[in-house]
Structure 1
Amino acid sequence: MWHSPSRRRREAGAANMTRAGRTQDQRWVATAEGEHLRGRRKRDTKPEVTLRKAVHRLGLRFRLQRKVAPRCTADFVLPRHRVAVFVDGCFWHGCPDHSPEEFRGPNAALWEEKIETNRERDRRNTTQAAEAGWIVVRIWECEIRRNVEEAAQRVAETTGSNEAPRRRRPAMPK
């Protein structure tokens, strides 16, 4: 007989189980600091918004959070040029320059596994998007902090076009 997940948890006597069916100690983030990190934004992060503004100033138009392959959503895409842009946070995606070499403290092994899983997913998403016909641009958060205009120029160069920015139509005379 089929039982709901909450009933199965109750019957199993697992009062401290999460919705995903894991016990509290199995969670990869079990500290107060981890609670803070779990609330991090998944979209519209500060580096992402900063880059989008710079790309927009270059006259390029884009769409946000578009699926470019199965289970693969780009931060923003330039559909006209088939360019998918991913903005990778240094910590969460394991930046070679800024990611911790070694995790310490509670759940260190789980953090390392989490970051490595993110890296694998990034590689898989890049491959899938490229196979679907998209040009993939990955930009690290630190690149945006260092020089956002240079990062935006990298996106613009990928489009392969030298088109002038779109101009707004003049206002109608009254």
Structure 2
Amino acid sequence: MTEASKSQHGWSDQLPSDRSWKPRPGMSREARSSEQDRAAGGRHRRVVVLEGDKRATGSIALRVYRRTRRIRAYLRWSEQGRTREQYVGEVSGPSRTTNLADAWMMARAAGLVRDEALPAGSKASSTAVRAVMTANKGRDTGPERRLRSLLYHRGVRYRVNVRPIPDLRRTADLVFQKARVAVFVDGCYWHGCPDHYRPATKRSQFWQDKIQRNIARDADTNRRLREQGWTVVRIWEHEEPNEAVEKVMKVLAS
């Protein structure tokens, strides 16, 4: 086959790198689900509509098509106990994260998935806002539980949801009392994540003021704890769990 013919048929000279399509080794089912949530823009954006107005939660599978040495994306879901899938298209980004996000965009553009509908009587302005509100909990969030589990399996022990300094009304998600390390797992919306925070469109000034107060309180917490000899570690909920663990371990080892 000539070079012109290869180009016309989408051929590539080399196989894509593993990091562009393979999942991280040893990822738990929960970690993979969180990866899909991040790529889709939230679990509420992974809805596959089935016959009879039934719903399923979709996921994207990436595979290398060795004949052309390109990455193909498939939408997968479970229906009546069987795994179904639908070809979405080819992706060519440098990382798995990028390719998953691109595949979800293509699936949505093709009408293969849609956002979860707001339930009757919901006061939320959108499914995205409702998802944020539903996920907002003061403690034991999914990212917190994943971080705790991974640290525990690394042999690290800690206290959960306590004040590092008893007379200071600031509660950390994980506290390493002897090492004087306080870990906070911050939600992207409520703590103003620079990558994922999107201002509300309704009552926008009210919510922006609230987020700014949270950001100011976080900075004040950091300052107060450091003045008392504590090291503060802040982890965004979107961070990959294994990378978050390594961040904590590095601080504990220093």
TM bucket (normalised to shorter chain) is 0.5 to 0.7
TM-score (norm. length: structure 1): 0.67
Structure 2 residue 217 is the aligned partner of structure 1 residue 121: yes
Whether the aligned pair in 1 keeps the contact of 2:235 and 2:244 (CA below 8 Å) is yes
Over aligned residues, Cα RMSD in angstroms?
A: 2.0
Structure 2 residue 196 is the aligned partner of structure 1 residue 98: yes
What is the match of residue 149 of structure 1?
A: 242
Whether the aligned pair in 1 keeps the contact of 2:164 and 2:177 (CA below 8 Å) is no
What is the match of residue 111 of structure 1?
A: 207
Of 185, 194, 197, which aligns to 1:87? 185
Offset of residue 38 of structure 1: 7.7
CA spacing shift, 1:127–1:40, aligned 2, 3 Å? same
Count residues with an aligned counterpart: 126
CA spacing shift, 1:80–1:128, aligned 2, 3 Å? same
Could you tell me how far apart the structure 1 residues matched to 2:244 and 2:140 are?
17
Q: Report % sequence identity.
A: 40
In structure 1, the gaps of 5 or more residues are 1-30, 162-174
Higher relative contact order structure (alpha carbons within 8 Å, sequence separation ≥ 6):
1
Could you tell me how far apart the structure 1 residues matched to 2:134 and 2:210 are?
13
**Greater fraction strand:** 2
Structure 2 letter corresponding to 1:154: K
TM-score (norm. length: structure 2): 0.47
Matched ranges for 1:3-82 at <5 A: 32-33=123-124, 37=133, 40-69=136-165, 70-82=168-180
Whether the aligned pair in 2 keeps the contact of 1:63 and 1:78 (CA below 8 Å) is yes
Could you tell me how far apart the structure 1 residues matched to 2:187 and 2:164 are?
20
Offset of residue 142 of structure 1: 0.9
Offset of residue 40 of structure 1: 3.1
My pick for the range that moved more, 127-136 or 91-100, is 127-136
